[in-house]
Structure 1
Amino acid sequence: MTARITPLRLEAFEQLPKHARRCVYWEVDPLTVGDDRNLSDPEFEKEAWLSMVMLEWGSCGQLAVEYSTPVPDDETGDEPCLGYAFYAPPRSVPRASRFPTGPVSADAVLLTSLGVETGPGHEELSRALITGVVGDLVRRGVRALEAFGRSSVADELADMAEVPPDVQPVLETLGDCAMGTCVMPLDLLLDAGFVVVSHHTYFPRLRLELEQGLGWKAGVEAALERLLESAQLQQPVGAGAAANS
């Protein structure tokens, strides 16, 4: 899959897929909305959250857009969006405090959401988005990236007569947002190089050390460069990795 990873800017909000624009699972605490789980304007809530985080902290999203011709970093293109990733300081993510394996480490940024189009190359696209997040955070001097994972048995919670009390806050829905679609699969994070730092049957917390991530980032970027090259400009296998070593 040919894609270009670019930082999300607020003016590109409409490029996001519908679910990404409406999903406020991480950004709104269910306790603040009472019994009304159907927000009247979730897109407004999501855009307001992005605006707040960007103003107070900086870039908090990466987009994967269809690769055509290079677009300057200070311009917003209209290429189709193939995937997205959101991340922020844990203090800006209300749902983070409700996970049984919290809190997120004080020196880490939280990766909250990652979504890509299904189909050939979706695994490479997921890794490319995480690479974009890592690259941004390394430049900003962040020490680690953490995330909450959804284990393969977490889906069984929906059928349980009595849900364990420590996971009840994770399961509370907000409109179209629910644990099964808004918490990243554990295997995806493990495949990307994260390691479990707080074990849990359903929702472990994982961490990627960004000093270690520098080498991981270089290797993934080299692989992506090879994927994006045209047939006429193919370089020898391993050349990209050597250039980044």
Structure 2
Amino acid sequence: MGREILPLTLDRLPDLPADCRECVFWELTPALSSRGRQCPSEDKRGWLTTTLLEWGSPGRVAYVDGQPAGYITYAPAHLVPRSVAFPTSPVSADAVVLMTARMDPRYAGQGLGRVLIQSAAKDVLRRGGRAMEAYGSPGRAGGCLLPTDFLLAVGFHTAREHPAYPRMRLDLRTALRWRSEVEQAVEKLFAPVRGLGARQPQPVGTAHRQDPARP
């Protein structure tokens, strides 16, 4: 069974679940979201285009035998308008926002979520980031927030407590301990892996040019 992880680009946006392609929860301010957008898919493409040009790919998409199996999205806080709307905001200055992730139920229990988190962590480290932070949901999976239990299971800890929206943090310096184990796991689970080639680290939020149609 062939598996791979590739950067999220405009060409791969259609490989996200239909409701995620139409969702702009993270990409717009609460005020704009509440107005009921006429073309949320165009808003999504516009946000992705801007982010690709300013920061690079804001996510990873996992494929199994060429079929989409899951995805994860993340970006600097200034590119994630919703991130300032929580009672536990803002995220730390050295962190990017882990927005959301979803796995195809057919691949549940195979460690795909953990590998996507690890792949995102390695990407953020290469860009000069020190941490990822997310707003957890104490409830079960669903919606645009990740379950707190899932975040804890993949290495996050509570940075700021809240009964509904705890802010969770993964210090990427601890991810350095994962490197040998992660490399072996990625090679085993996602062979071949493409789109994760080394590049020079950049500070979080530093702009760089990137063709939106390419990884």
Q: What is the TM-score when the length of structure 1 is the normalising length?
A: 0.72
Change (3 A) 1:102 1:146: same
Change (3 A) 1:151 1:53: same
Q: CA deviation at 1:102?
A: 0.7
Aligned counterpart, 1:149: 136
Q: Which structure ranks higher in relative contact order (CA pairs < 8 Å, sequence separation ≥ 6)?
A: 2
Change (3 A) 1:128 1:56: same
Change (3 A) 1:181 1:18: same
Query: Is the 8 Å Cα contact of residues 9 and 48 (structure 2) preserved in structure 1?
Result: no
Q: Give the strand-richer structure, 1 or 2.
A: 2
Structure 2: 5+ residue stretches without partners: 192-215
Q: CA deviation at 1:20?
A: 2.0
Q: CA deviation at 1:217?
A: 4.9
Q: For 2:75, give the aligned amino acid.
A: A
Which structure: larger Rg? 1
Query: Is the 8 Å Cα contact of residues 127 and 220 (structure 1) preserved in structure 2?
Result: no
Aligned counterpart, 2:123: 136
Change (3 A) 1:227 1:32: closer
Deviations 1:44-92 (CA, angstroms, capped at 9, x unpaired)? 111110111111111211000124xxxxxxxxxxx32111111011111
Deviations 1:10-57 (CA, angstroms, capped at 9, x unpaired)? 2222222212211111111131355x33x2111111111011111111
Deviations 1:195-224 (CA, angstroms, capped at 9, x unpaired)? 111011111011111111122354244234
| Aligned positions, number | 191
Counterpart mapping for 1:212-223 below 5 A: 212-223=174-185
Deviates more, 1:101-110 or 1:122-131: 122-131
Aligned counterpart, 2:7: 7
Q: For 2:88, give the aligned amino acid.
A: T
What percentage of residue pairs aligned between the two structures are identical? 40
Q: For 1:189, give the aligned amino acid.
A: L
SS in 2 for 1:119: helix
Q: Give the helix-richer structure, 1 or 2.
A: 1
Q: For 1:132, give the aligned amino acid.
A: S
1:81 aligns with 2:93: no
Query: Is the 8 Å Cα contact of residues 135 and 166 (structure 2) preserved in structure 1?
Result: yes
Deviations 1:140-176 (CA, angstroms, capped at 9, x unpaired)? 1211111110013xx8xxxxxxxxxxxxxxxxxxxxx
Counterpart mapping for 1:36-185 below 5 A: 36-37=35-36, 39-67=37-65, 79-122=66-109, 124-152=111-139, 180-185=142-147
Change (3 A) 1:60 1:112: same
Structure 2 Cα separation of the partners of residues 7 and 189 of structure 1: 21
Structure 1 Cα separation of the partners of residues 190 and 122 of structure 2: 18
